Amino acid sequence: MKSIETKYMEEREAVLRALARLDRRAFLKVSAGALGAAIAAGAGVTPHSFSLVNVAHAQDKPPEGSPPEGNPGTKAGPSPAKPTLANKPAGFTFAYISDSHLYKRELNDRFVRSLLRAVDDVNAMDPQPDFVLYGGDLAQLGQREELDLGAEILKSLKAPVRMMVGEHDWYLDMGARWRELFGEPNYAFEHKGVQFVVLNSVVEEDFWTPAKLSPMERMQTVAGLDNGKQRPFTVGEEQRAWLQKELASVPKTKPLIVFSHSPLYKLYKQWNFWTDDAEQVQAILKPFQRVTVIHGHTHQILTNRIGNIHFHGMLSTAWPWPYAPQGLPALTIQMNRPDPFNPNDGCGDGEVLVHPDGLVDKLYKLWNRNPVTVSRAYMSSSGKQDSPLAPNSGSY
């Protein structure tokens, strides 16, 4: 027997998932169907907004011949059947959690609770995502206790985890502990016919040696978003060469999804919403027909498109950032201004639905609010179709 809370959370999950896959017309259909179903079901239906979940599921049957969804045990890796998009028509989902900024548990329970909430969110997904991307900044000051605590919490995720590094994880010991826990920060893998690449995009030029900073002073300088003593983020020559080599043998028709902590474009230098060698990285990605970049660091809904490259931000579990005062991409529809009286407002986690054509729907699961989907239709039409709802309270 499930508790009302469990049922509610399950239904909520299911409806979020269903909504992510619907365009507007289908949504109206589903909503109408749900209303009918709710009336027909009568007394057995709990009167809340998630009643439409069963109907949404019915609408959402995967196409013929698709593999079963949500196999938690599946480790991402080279697919055995040499998958092409033609014989893998179903697409798949991965979840994301990002920017948790953990202090050690005794110092700050607030950020720990938020990460636990995100882990619960993802574990409640049914079917489970193929994997979970952790988007960087697991720790606040790169300390061993912080990284170890984060690693321990992420172990309770049911789906396999793919790690990405952020500047807060790195600049105390220059990645030593992070590497011990999670391996090299840049790597590539293939999953169901899609090529994935994970980058360390937070490489900063040495500003600490001339300034004679201690490791903790260096960390605290980098940890301040508006600290002007630090240098801009880069991917760096070494990793660009690695990326070029890694992608050399990948067919240009194969969908490519890149994970980077900072946005791989130039938005606002003062807050390092910025990658200094973005143009050079974009040049490597440009020959591919369908490229998606998923990045952390910005703690907000952020959408951009440069040529064939689609960019999506991730939400933080710890706190939302304000939108940058300049440089905001035209495609970005801002999320509502967070309400400081509503704990965790503007924070959350989310998922990415990778369609059979390799393009993605990006779902922002904002805690305490309606989720927002930035769909492939919106991206492909450069914002002409399927626009997410505009905020009713924007930035000042």
Give the footprint of another protein on this chain (CB under 8 A): 103, 107-110, 140, 221, 224-229, 270-271, 318-322, 325, 337, 339-341, 343, 393, 395-396
Q: By C-beta, is 4 or 390 nearer to another protein?
A: 390
Q: Compare residues 90 and 225 and give the one whose CB is closer to another protein.
A: 225
CB of 298 to another protein, least distance (A): 11
Characterize 135-152 residue by residue with b for buried, 16 or more Cβ atoms within 10 angstroms of its Cβ, and e for exposed.
bbbbbbbbbbbbbbbbbe
Strands 92-97 and 132-134 come out as parallel
CB of 18 to another protein, least distance (A): 33
Q: Looking at beta carbons only, is 201 or 272 nearer to another protein?
A: 272
Residue among 48 and 341 whose Cβ is closer to another protein: 341
Nearer to another protein, 62 or 343 (CB): 343
Taking the least distance from each CB to another protein, the nearer of 37 and 225 is: 225
**Shortest distance (Å) from residue 208 CB to another protein:** 13
182 φ, ψ (degrees, to nearest 5)? -125, -5
In the complex, the smallest distance separating the C-beta of residue 205 from another protein, rounded to whole angstroms, is: 17
Distance, in Å, from the CA atom of 229 to the CA atom of 363, rounded to the nearest integer, reads 35
Nearest approach, Cβ of 271 to another protein (angstroms)? 6
Q: What is the closest distance, in whole angstroms, from the C-beta atom of residue 49 to another protein in the complex?
A: 24
Instruction: Check: CB of residue 243 under 8 Å from CB of residue 281.
Output: yes
Can you name the residues that pair with 256 across neighbouring β-strands? 195, 291
Question: Which C-beta is closer to another protein: that of 137 or that of 276?
Answer: 137
Q: Residue 114 Cβ, how far from another protein at the closest point, in Å?
A: 12
